[in-house]
Amino acid sequence: MLTQGPRGTKDILPGEVDAWLYVEKKIRELCERFGFQEIRTPIFEHTELFQRGIGDTTDVVEKEMYTFTDRGDRSITLRPENTAAAVRSYLQNKLYADNSLTKLFYIGSMFRYDRPQKGRYREFHQFGVEALGEQSPAVDAEIIILAVRFLQSLGLKDLELSINSVGDPKCRPVYREKLQEFFKDKLDGLCDVCRSRYDRNPMRILDCKSGECQRLSVGAPEITDCLCDECNEHFEKVKEYLTAAGISFTCDPRLVRGLDYYTKTAFEIKYSPLGAQSAVAGGGRYDGLIEEIGGNPTPAVGFAVGLERVMLALEQQKLFNAEPHKADAFIVALGEKAQSVGFKLLVELRDAGLKAAMDYAGRSMKAQMKQANKAMAHYAVILGDDEIAKNVAVLRDMESSAQTEVPMEEIIKKLTDEVKG
């Protein structure tokens, strides 16, 4: 028990961290280029924020939240997503004050009590952006392009971008009624979940994975036929901007987002080699959320990317190659005297900006060379009694096995030149 992490958690081990750092670096570079600034909100928030911000009737809030009462008798929840928290921070810190458009991004852990499976954990990581304060379809297009460029920058090809408009409080009720009308005499055939969705959220029926529900929803009315002029125009503009940017997409009228505060644009990016876990990014406009949380009505649009799935794709496609050398130099010291000369050199090499390592256990030459290999060192710096007597060290290129004798005082410069090229 003590040596097993909780179900659904995963350690990111030293050998895996490099790939995460690589991805995070790409995110930061790209977000900076697009003018998004990083925000870091707490891991936990008041439970009510998520109840209001995600919706009481969603699976996330009903079944998947990590909620507990703290010692002050407050109900606290580990964030299951970050949009509500970003909006909370935006309002609390008045980030809207000096700008009509606030562009934020985040990277971090989210928590959902979900059935763990490949690429899905109870603690998982998301990269997301939120653009708050602007209703222009250009912003919708901008964040979609950012999501696409991010995945492309990692080398993921053949991404499938689907977009839709889910309307707004003006036109969606009309669609809702049409849908209920359509499903009215099919209710008995729907799964239990969808039967309960019929009243509160019939759009989600279109989203159901059950084969029977999918069969019954063939021929269902499409939201795009019910959009009001404003929503329609907005959707056309988003498509126009994407086309102008050379981004290919398909329109999927079944791409719905269940919550009332979602408006207009919805999108999803799939990477099909991932199979069942192919949805890597999803997002859209949520013009109703900020008011829901207690702010003034404010248009907003955002997305989130599941980083575990991105990492899975990188691994599957072998798109990330770790640096070949973890250490620039590994000091192989033989004998007590060499140990202390070697230790001094170790410190000097590090001070000079080189990645240096050394064995402290006084092992044999063979064992230390093995360690140098394990440390993925570029060079071994070999010091024995003979070398100490001559005030030199033997520099061995671990790849080519070429060896040269170098005077002690030239070692740092020589290694620096070789390594930094």
Give the binding site for Zn ion (CB under 5 A): 167-168, 170-171, 191, 194, 208, 210, 213, 228, 231
Compare residues 170 and 370 and give the one whose CB is closer to Zn ion.
Answer: 170
Least Å distance, CB 378 to Zn ion, is: 58
Distance (Å, whole) CA 216 – CA 186: 7
CB 238 → Zn ion: shortest distance, Å? 14
Which strand ranges, in their side-by-side order, compose the sheet holding 44-46? 44-46, 75-78, 66-69
- Taking the least distance from each CB to Zn ion, the nearer of 171 and 332 is 171
Q: Least distance (Å) from Zn ion to the CB of residue 226?
A: 8
Q: Which is nearer to Zn ion, 79 or 204 (CB)?
A: 204
Which lies closer to Zn ion via its Cβ, residue 171 or residue 329? 171
Min dist CB 291 to Zn ion, Å, is 17
Minimum CB distance to Zn ion, residue 202 (Å): 11
Q: Which is nearer to Zn ion, 149 or 186 (CB)?
A: 186
CB of 228 to Zn ion, least distance (A): 3
Which of 27/194 has CB closer to Zn ion? 194
**Least distance from C-beta 210 to Zn ion, angstroms?**
4
Residue closer to Zn ion (CB basis): 213 or 329: 213
Q: Write the secondary structure of 351-393 as one string of H (helix), E (strand) and C (coil).
A: HCCCCEEECCCCCCHHHHHHHHHHCCEEEEEEECHHHHHHCEE
